[in-house]
């Protein structure tokens, strides 16, 4: 199915990357090898989505604020994985003319991870052909809390009248000024958002697949796109079909 034309491509697709540990467990492997396989797949899907399929924004949920509660060795391995691979991804995305962003809290992340993140963003900041948004140390409740706190400071200083606060005010204080999510994909069979892009997913179409992320191929991504193209998106209004 890869590269077959589709009549509707989401502007903003988001993926909850899930199933790496189960994939490894099924193969009697350590969790670290599952994360490595998942990250290799993530790089492939990123190239395909923004490079070949024309998705303008791809958000990837790679590490939540809650993931710090996992075994310290596993967390350390993931941080090493990010630090060791982000620069390579940056170089490739830069060649493709794509910008790389990060959404999440910087507090708690190790310096080598922050350095790699900053390298990616600085290298690709002027690119316009697409956006890859890595959600790292991210939680949607944390994002909304940070937004409310920032707005409250403006009100307290007199820079903002509370009566002028509307949805656009909140959106302008989120981590990144990105368009709403059109298609939310979650792998591994779980059917929940897990605190990911709650505000941005207000009218998103959801696609759940039992496929574990290391097995989520280009064809699997195309199946999600095909299902999205079949959906009747009403956005709170009447049917468009």
Domain assignments of the chain as residue spans, ordered by start? 12-139+180-229
Q: Answer yes or no: is pLDDT of 122 > 60.
A: yes
State the sign of the Cα–Cα–Cα–Cα dihedral 37, 38, 39, 42. positive
Residue 212 to residues 20, 35, 171, 199, 225: CA-CA distances in angstroms?
A: 7, 11, 32, 26, 17
Tell me what pLDDT residue 5 has.
62
Mean pLDDT score of the chain:
95
Region 230-241: mean pLDDT is 70
Asked whether 29 and 212 are in contact (CB, 8 A), the reply is: no
234 is in an annotated binding site: no
192 is in an annotated binding site: yes
Place 238 in a pLDDT band, splitting at 50, 70 and 90. Answer: low
Architecture in CATH for domain 12-139+180-229: 3-Layer(aba) Sandwich (3.40)
Asked whether 196 and 14 are in contact (CB, 8 A), the reply is: yes
Q: Answer yes or no: is pLDDT of 108 > 60.
A: yes
**Model-level pTM?**
0.93
Out of 4-8, 31-35, 149-153, pick the least confident.
4-8
140 is in an annotated binding site: no
Region 176-195: mean pLDDT is 97
Tell me what pLDDT residue 68 has.
95
Strands 205-208 and 57-64: unpaired
Which DSSP state fits 170?
H
What residues are annotated to the active site?
A: 18, 67
């Amino acid at each position: 199915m890869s590269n077959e034309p589709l009549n509707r491509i989401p502007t903003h697709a988001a993926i909850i990357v899930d199933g790496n540990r189960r994939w490894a467990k099924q193969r009697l492997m350590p969790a670290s090898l599952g994360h490595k396989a998942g990250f290799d797949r993530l790089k492939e899907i990123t190239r395909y989505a923004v490079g070949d399929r024309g998705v303008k924004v791809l958000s990837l949920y790679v590490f939540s604020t809650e993931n710090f509660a996992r075994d310290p060795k596993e967390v350390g391995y993931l941080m090493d994985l990010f630090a060791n691979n982000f620069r390579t991804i940056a170089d490739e995305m830069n060649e493709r003319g794509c910008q790389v962003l990060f959404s999440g809290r910087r507090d708690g992340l190790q310096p080598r991870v922050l350095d790699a993140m900053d390298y990616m963003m600085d290298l690709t900041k002027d690119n316009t052909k697409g956006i890859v948004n890595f959600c790292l140390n991210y939680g949607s409740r944390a994002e909304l809390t940070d937004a409310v706190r920032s707005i409250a400071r403006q009100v307290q200083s007199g820079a903002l009248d509370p009566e002028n606060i509307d949805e656009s005010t909140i959106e302008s204080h989120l981590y990144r000024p990105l368009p709403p999510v059109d298609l939310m994909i979650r792998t591994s069979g779980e059917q929940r958002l897990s605190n990911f892009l709650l505000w941005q997913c207000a009218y998103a179409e959801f696609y759940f697949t039992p496929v574990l992320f290391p097995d989520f191929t280009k064809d699997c991504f195309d199946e999600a796109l095909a299902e999205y193209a079949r959906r009747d998106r009403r956005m709170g209004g009447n049917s468009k079909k």
